[in-house]
Amino acid sequence: MPVSYRDHANITEAILGFAEYARSHDMNVGIREAQEALRVASLGLIQDKKYFRYALKSVFCTSADNIVLFDDLFSNYWETPYEYSQSSFDIKSKINVQKPAVRSLVFIGKGGNKEAREEDASEVSGANKIEKLRKTDFSKVTDIDSAFLEKLAINLWQQMSRRLKKKLKNSTTKGIVDIRQTIRSNIGRGGTMLELKLKNKKPDRNRLVILLDVSGSMDKYSFYLLRFILALRAYFQNIEAFIFSTKLIRITEYLKSKNLEKVLAHLSAGVDNWSSGTKIGACLESFNDMYAKRSLNGRSMTIILSDGLDTGEPELLSRELSKIKRRTRKLIWLNPLKGMTGYQPLAQGMKAALPEIDVFRSAHSLDSILELEKYLAHV
Amino acid sequence: MIKEVSGFIESFDKLGYVVDEELATILFLMTDLKKPLLLEGNPGVGKTEVANILAAHLGTELIRLQCYEGLDVHSAVYEWNYQKQLLSIKIQESNQKSDIEKEKHIFGKDFLMARPLLKAISGKTKSPVLLIDEIDRADEEFEAFLLELLSVYQISIPEFGTIKAIHPPLVILTSNRTRELSDALRRRCLYHWVNYPDFEKEVKIVHKHLPDIDQKLSEQLVSVIHVLRKKGLEKSPGISETLDWALSLHALGRKELDEESFRRSLGSVLKSYADTEKIKAEGLAKLMEESNL
């Protein structure tokens, strides 16, 4: 595939070639963008490379994320003197199988069959990969996949919380008269207002309290679970979040902060230093002492994310859990270890906790967390 | 330089807005392609101002729609004036007009309250500039609706009919990236990321707004602001903070920046308790040193 304007006979072809080049690097460039690029040139902006670059950038880029890529592509394509440039982008395109040079056909969406088949195949493997990753235990994800999984997870979780938000919006049984709807629905009665339609504020979202175990044994999971909390935060205004290992720390206010990563790195460094084992019971005790009255009520749901490997006393844990249980509507315990085949809740802490818990589920993979939706829908 | 682009720069300059070549190029392109422009960037870099000045430059009306969560069609597009309609029905009860005529009357133009979007497509003589501010704050549903409007520039009102724009508005959308916008909306628009201005440009902006400020003071302010922006604060100071600060120091009658006046005017630069504490802890003197003062 041509990677420089010099490979084309005339300006029009060169510009269309650039559109194709950009598209082959995953930029969102379609027919309309290509047409607009031609228009940009015909406006005279092509006289000066600087302005040509500015203009095409605004047409081809759809987000701040692809500005850097665009700049590289532009330089590669329009500024290569004679030989193809050796940048990483071009290496990628050279490895690719040469695509048939039927540009006009490609543009109207009838590219060569061979090309189409190749793309299909890669799509399938991509989809397979996603399916597989969704079921993979977080602790077994390789470094290469982890960035991809993180992106995928955030995406899916955000979709989930968006769906949850929609559910919350319905149900209006009381409120002020919605005059517009009232007139509409009473047209059939000759305009006599028999049936009143009401409108109400969106109901207050009920509170969600999340306690995340960040001790050493949870290390691999807490990274993803924290992102899950962040995704929920986008749609649940009333979210209270805590992390604990040997001490309980409230992180609700940090969830809004831009520097969350930094804050957490700082916090967890501190936590590790103190840790001689997880003290779930003691942490729940301090939660009950300091926060429970404020943050728990009959409408709240409490989620504990922990593997239940406790070094404290089981009695304490059980007692504190039952305190929480009395204050909250539903108590959910998510244990990543539960995803392992043959797992039995034999750990002392987990055993003590089980009788107090309403729902006991696993949270080891993306899919297992997505299954939580049905519980969250009733928050 | 391309004639039209330099025209934009000069005209904007006269109107008190310092525009760089890139944005000028895009604005020129936007007026030609009649495509909406999506501006993203940190708060306080003058995104909204672009629309104001563009309207002034083109000598046309600016219509502004501020988005917020829960914004719906009734407050964005149109609403019937129900009270007036009900009164009108009562008044007409005794006259001899037919029902159809009566209905036609109460669903007439007099009873229609146009909200920003409807106003924007019913421009009579010239394309207005429509500013849709902070689109990321509106719900997804509204975004979807907007998508339709931006592609055909027409609005259907069931009782009234379809209104199609004779002069489609020039649309500028701004976003602070609090929520990811849909790809579909992004693809409808030209895109421009508004950066913080560089040193010279920002000094120029200060002088544009405060023509009689001391050159030294303005340069000092801007260099401190530039250092602050690199500190990763919760709320990095934008151009509006620079201007506020310049204004307050100017009002205090300062000719140059010293530690005492810095301390007294800190509130016009840093807008969050945590940031103020952080900077105070680091020491104002040290900060000024970093800024080569």
A359-361/B161-164 β-pairing: unpaired
How do strand A330-334 and strand A301-305 relate by DSSP bridges?
parallel
Do B191 and A62 lie within an 8 Å CB cutoff?
Answer: yes
Query: Cβ neighbours of residue B62 under 8 Å, at least 6 residues apart?
Result: B51, B52, B55, B56, B128, B129, B131
Q: Does pLDDT of B100 surpass 80?
A: yes
How many contacts (CB atoms, under 8 Å) link A and B? 75
Name which residue leads in pLDDT, B238 or A134: B238
Return the closest-CA partner of residue B186 out of A58, A155, A39. Answer: A58
Nearest CA in chain A to B22: A54
B205-260 pLDDT tens trace: 999 888 888 888 999 999 999 999 988 787 889 998 999 999 999 888 888 888 88
Using the predicted structure, report yes or no on whether residue B35 has a pLDDT greater than 70.
yes
Is B41:B25 a contact under the CB 8 Å cutoff? no
H or E segment to which residue B147 belongs: helix B140-152
Residue A93 has pLDDT above 50, yes or no: no
Task: Kindly identify which residue of chain B lies nearest to residue A48, measuring between CA atoms.
Answer: B1
Question: In whole angstroms, how far apart are CA A137 and each of A47, A171, B133?
Answer: 56, 38, 43
Q: How far is B122 from chain A (nearest CA, A)?
A: 23
For residues A255 and A272, give the distance between their C-alpha atoms in angstroms, rounded to a whole number.
Answer: 21
A176 touches chain B (CB under 8 A): no
CB contact at 8 A, A209 and A296: yes
Chain B residues whose beta carbon lies within 8 Å of the beta carbon of residue A51: 1-2, 5, 21, 25
The answer, yes or no, to whether residue A260 has pLDDT greater than 70, is no
The pLDDT of residue A104: 34
More confident residue, A173 or A369: A369
User: Contacts of residue A234 in chain B, CB cutoff 8 Å?
Assistant: 179
User: What is the pTM (predicted TM-score) of this model?
Assistant: 0.65
B269: which 2 tokens? 């630069």
A150 has a pLDDT exceeding 80: no
Cβ within 8 Å, pair B21-A51:
yes
Mean pLDDT is lowest, of A186-195, A286-295, A306-315, B63-72, for A186-195
**pLDDT, chain A, mean:** 74
Q: Does B137 touch chain A (CB under 8 A)?
A: no
Tell me what percent of the residues of chain B surpass a pLDDT of 90.
Answer: 34
**Tell me, what amino acid is at A18?**
F
Q: Does A160 touch chain B (CB under 8 A)?
A: no
Asked if A64 reaches chain B (Cβ–Cβ under 8 Å), the answer is: yes
Mean pLDDT of all residues in A350-372: 84
State the Cα–Cα distance between residues A252 and B189, nearest whole angstrom: 36
Among A47, A58, A258, the residue with its CB nearest the CB of B192 is A58
Find the mean pLDDT for residues B8-16: 90
Nearest to A55 among B26, B40, B140 (CB): B26
| Whole-Å CA distances, A107 to A19, A103, B183 | 10, 6, 20
Nearest CB among B21, B179, B191 relative to A58 is that of: B191
pLDDT digits (tens, 9 = 90+) for B256-280: 888 888 888 888 899 888 888 888 8
Q: Does B199 touch chain A (CB under 8 A)?
A: no
Chain B residues whose CB is inside 8 A of the A63 CB are 40, 186, 191
B194: three-class secondary structure by DSSP: strand
User: Could you give the CA distance from residue A322 to residue A316 in angstroms, rounded to a whole number?
Assistant: 10
Q: What is the pLDDT of residues A40-82, one digit of tens each?
A: 999 888 888 889 999 999 999 988 888 889 999 999 888 865 4
Q: Is B278 on the interface with A (CB under 8 A)?
A: no
Higher pLDDT among residues A118 and A339, named by residue:
A339
Q: Which residue in the set B22, B32, B191 is minimally distant from A43, CB to CB? A: B32
